[in-house]
Amino acid sequence: MNKLPGKKESSWMSWYIAVAAVLLLLIILFYFFTQQFS
Amino acid sequence: MNFQLTDWIVLAVTLLGVILYGIYKSRTSKNLEGYFLSNRQMPWWLVLLGIMGTQASAVTFLTAPGQAYTDGMRFVQYYFGLPLAMIVLGITFVPLFHKLKLFTAYEFLEKRFDVKTRTLTSFLFLLSRGLSTGISIFAPSIVLSSMLGWDIYLTNIVMGGLLIIYTVSGGAKAVAYTQKLQFVIIYAAMFVAAYFAIKALPNGVGFTDALHIAGKSGKLNVITTGVNEHGFDWKDRYNIWSGLIGGFFLALSYFGTDQSQVGRYLTAKDTRESRLGLLLNGLVKVPLQFLILLIGCLLFAYYSFFKAPAFFNKTQETEVLQSAYATDYKAATAAYEKIQQDKAVVAKELAQALHQKNEPVINASRDKLLTAEKEGQLLRNEMKGLIKKADPDADTNDTNYIFLRFVGDTLPSGLVGLIVAIIFLAAWGSIAAALNSLASCTMIDFHQKFSKKKLSPEEEYKWGKYYTLFWGVFCIVIALFAYNIGNSLIEAVNILGSWFYGTILGIFLVAFYLKKVQSNAVFISAIIAEVIVITVSYFNIISFLWLNLIGAAAVVILSLLIQILTGAKSKAVQ
């Protein structure tokens, strides 16, 4: 829990990037999932 | 659907347990901050569960598997814009809302613009959320009443009434803690249902085979581009672009300007806890929705081997079989059953070919399954036409009945009761949050704002409770009316919601990002934008997800233009 970001705006940047990156990763995985079983 | 004594016991114990837990957790300080915002003390994980519990209504758990069964998994793309919206909310909305110590999102509009903009936006919220909450009581009630033979009025009252006990007594705190319990029960039960869907497959057919059967029938279409031989189809509801762009604006509008959601993260201890709740929602929402949709594909695989009902709503089916169209309907049913029998043979061949890695048979099976699926859909459409002819007011959408029909057909006694219980719990999670937010807007944006009499904190707390009770009763009355008026009311309410969301978001975006724009410019732009959205919606030239973008963009562009033309000075929030 102590590693979670605090009040400083800059410390949240990695979280924002992580959320966007996970979305991108999911879309790529879903694409291959669609191809794999079609 | 056979509902036995064990099911009744499981249902009663689960619902009673949640109500008692809600009452137990309902102690809070007797003022508005305690009642509507849990004294702003909630940790991020309760905020997260609150956000998720508010968004996922009963219909979510009924519709999603049915949607995957009929249309495939492409519905998940509807949620692609959500994580991006969470980022924007975390950067812009959350810090400002916390800094201003708001009760409702609409207070901000008065600080930024004027009282008329605040009142109009809050009124639009009360109107659309009040009506849609009534429908979110009615929609699962009609499914349960139709499948279990329960009295619709009583089901509506239980669906919308019991939660009032803990929502009125405990306010936001009781809502948050019950949502936590509801979340655990709902997802545990859904995974049990998925396990039984796999277990019910024939011997020698496993999970991967089921995925292949669903996939080769076109159901695992998770990513679609919306492009056909004529180019991009703007009317195509769910594709990656409408999901990412339209879904982004919808999620931004819903989580940023709808008090039922804003009220959840305003209960957080500080900006950090709110942000964490929202960002984690962005991380988990898409995979969870994917898993719920996957259950629908497992049902599809199951019904590829076993006899699938041609139409899943038995009540409507009985009605058409007693009409002049009975002969035509029976003929269509017989043709559908023939397709199903052939499909079961192909599915077995495919499962065998997959184990033997026999590519020619796999490819041939794919073609046969796709053809069977197309022919089956055509027959289902023909049957829906006959149902509509027999009763013009009939609901021909049986998507919400598919999952429960499977549950009733295959799950053991006790688990059927648990699945029915989660329909109630999912409904309660979103209705309770909606009642709490409707009451807070009525109290803060109207009563407190316009009442000349100064109330003590205890009196305000009491009024908060009265308003929660009032909205609870109001929503039940709407649910009861929905039964009498029928589909036209449900459609009207759904359309109403999509008309206002984009415009309200546009007002907030102007408030945040266009500091020079004044109240009159944004007010006039909102009215023009509304006319544009209604016109576009009326002529049905574009899928509803894009309406949010059109509404928001119209307000932003028009207000900027009007401000430049009128050239007045700004009143920015510090």
Average pLDDT over residues A14-23: 94
Enter the tokens of residue B23: 């009452």
* Average pLDDT for B313-338: 91
Q: Name every chain A residue with its beta carbon within 8 A of the beta carbon of B87.
A: 16, 19-20
> Taking residues B200-229, what's their average pLDDT?
90
Which residues are B268's β-sheet partners?
A: B42
A:B CB pairs within 8 Å: 66
B174-188 pLDDT per residue, tens: 999 999 999 999 999
Q: Centre a 10 Å sphere on the Cβ of residue B67 and count the other Cβ atoms it contains.
A: 23
| Residue B566, pLDDT score | 87
Q: Does A25 touch chain B (CB under 8 A)?
A: no
Between chains, do A15 and B279 touch, taking CB under 8 Å as contact? Answer: yes
For the segment B453-466, the average pLDDT, to the nearest whole number, is 92
Of A8 and B267, the structure prediction assigns the larger pLDDT to B267
Residues of B in contact with A18 (CB under 8 A): 283
Kindly list the residues from chain B whose CB atom is less than 8 angstroms away from the CB atom of residue A11: none
Q: Measure the CA angle with vertex B414, ends B410 and B416; round to 5°.
A: 45
CA B9 from centroid of its chain's CA atoms:
28
Q: Which residues contact B37 (CB under 8 A, 6 or more apart)?
A: B103, B172, B263, B266, B267
**Residue in A20, A34, A37 nearest the CB of B223:** A34
List of chain B residues whose C-beta atoms are within 8 Å of the C-beta of residue A36: 215
Question: Is residue A27 classed as helix, strand or coil in its secondary structure?
Answer: helix
Reply yes or no on whether the pLDDT at B571 is more than 60.
Answer: no
Q: In A, which residues are within 8 Å of B285 by CB distance?
A: none
Q: How confident is the model at residue B495 (pLDDT cuts 50, 70, 90)?
A: low
Q: Write out chain A residues lying below 8 Å of B373, CB-based.
A: none
pLDDT for the residue numbered B569: 54
Q: Give residue ranges of B with CB < 8 Å to any A CB.
A: 76, 80, 83-84, 86-87, 90-91, 211-212, 214-216, 218, 220-223, 240, 270-272, 275-276, 279, 282-283, 286-287, 290, 366
pLDDT tens-digit map of B44-59: 999 999 999 998 888 7
HEC sequence for B501-512: HHHHHHHHHHHH
* Neighbour-count burial for B354-372, b at 16+ CB within 10 Å, e otherwise: beeeeeebbeebbebbeeb
Q: Is the pLDDT of residue B1 over 90?
A: no
Which residue in B has a C-alpha nearest to residue A14's C-alpha?
B87
Confidence at B460, pLDDT banded by 50, 70, 90? very high
For B212, the closest of A6, A16, A37 (CB atoms) is A37
Question: Could you give the 3-state DSSP secondary structure of residue B218?
Answer: coil
Beta carbons of B216 and A15 less than 8 Å apart: no
CB spacing of B283 vs A19 below 8 angstroms: yes
Secondary structure class of B268 (helix, strand, coil): strand
For every residue of B328-368, DSSP letters joined together read HHHHHHHHHHHHHHHHHHHHHHHHHHHHHT-HHHHHHHHHH
What average pLDDT does chain B have? 90
Q: How many residues does chain B have?
A: 574
Model confidence pLDDT, tens digit, residues B145-195: 988 889 999 999 999 989 999 999 989 999 999 999 999 999 999 999 999
Residues of A in contact with B222 (CB under 8 A): 30-31, 33-34
In whole angstroms, what is the distance from residue B118 CA to residue B92 CA?
Answer: 19
Does residue A34 belong to the interface with chain B, where contact is any CB pair within 8 Å? Answer: yes
Q: Look-up: residue for tokens 């879309």?
A: A27
Distance of alpha carbon B484 from alpha carbon B488, whole angstroms: 10
Residue B492 clears pLDDT 60, i.e. is over it: yes
Q: Please, what is the end-to-end C-alpha distance for chain A in angstroms?
A: 42
Cβ atoms of B1 and B405 closer than 8 Å: yes
Read off the pLDDT of each residue in B271-297 and give the average, rounded to a whole number: 94
CB B518 within 8 A of CB B117: no
Q: What is the pLDDT of residue A2?
A: 43
Average pLDDT score over chain A: 84
**Out of A27-31, B9-13, B360-364, B488-492, least confident range:** B488-492
Report CB contact under 8 Å: A31, B222.
Answer: yes
Question: Across residues B455-474, what is the average pLDDT?
Answer: 94
Contact residues, chain A, for B366 at CB < 8 Å: 38
For chain B, say whether A26 makes contact (Cβ under 8 Å).
yes
A23 touches chain B (CB under 8 A): yes
The whole-number pLDDT of residue B453 equals 87
pLDDT band at B267 (very low <50, low <70, confident <90, very high): very high
Residue A28 token pair: 């790529």
Q: Following DSSP, what letter does each residue of B531-543 receive, concatenated? A: HHHHHHHHTT-S-
Q: Is B351 exposed, middle or buried (0-12, 13-18, 19+ CB in 10 A)?
A: buried
Q: Hunting for tokens 């064990």 — which residue is that?
A: B6
Residue B420: predicted pLDDT: 93
| Mean pLDDT (whole number) for B565-570 | 68
Please determine, for residue B573, whether its predicted confidence score (pLDDT) is greater than 70: no
Confidence of residue B244 (pLDDT cuts 50, 70, 90): very high
Min distance B13 CA to chain A CA atoms (Å) = 36
Half-sphere exposure in the Cβ direction for B249 (13 Å, CA) = 25
The greatest distance separating any two alpha carbons of chain A, rounded to the nearest whole angstrom, comes to: 47
Asked if B223 lies within 8 A of A31 by C-beta distance, the reply is yes
Binary contact (B282, A23; C-beta < 8 A)? yes
Residue B231: strand pairing partners:
B228
pLDDT reading at A1 higher than 70: no
φ/ψ of B552, rounded to 5, equals: -65, -45
| Confidence band for A8, pLDDT divided at 50, 70 and 90 | low
Judged against a pLDDT cut of 80, whether residue B223 lies above it is answered with yes
**Per-residue pLDDT averaged across B513-525, rounded?**
91
pLDDT of residue A22: 96
- What pLDDT shows up at residue B147? 84
| Region B368-388 average pLDDT | 91
Mean pLDDT along residues B488-503: 72
pLDDT at B466: 96
Mean pLDDT over B316-322 rounds to 90
Residue B572 in this model has a pLDDT that exceeds 70: no
What pLDDT is attached to residue B574? 40
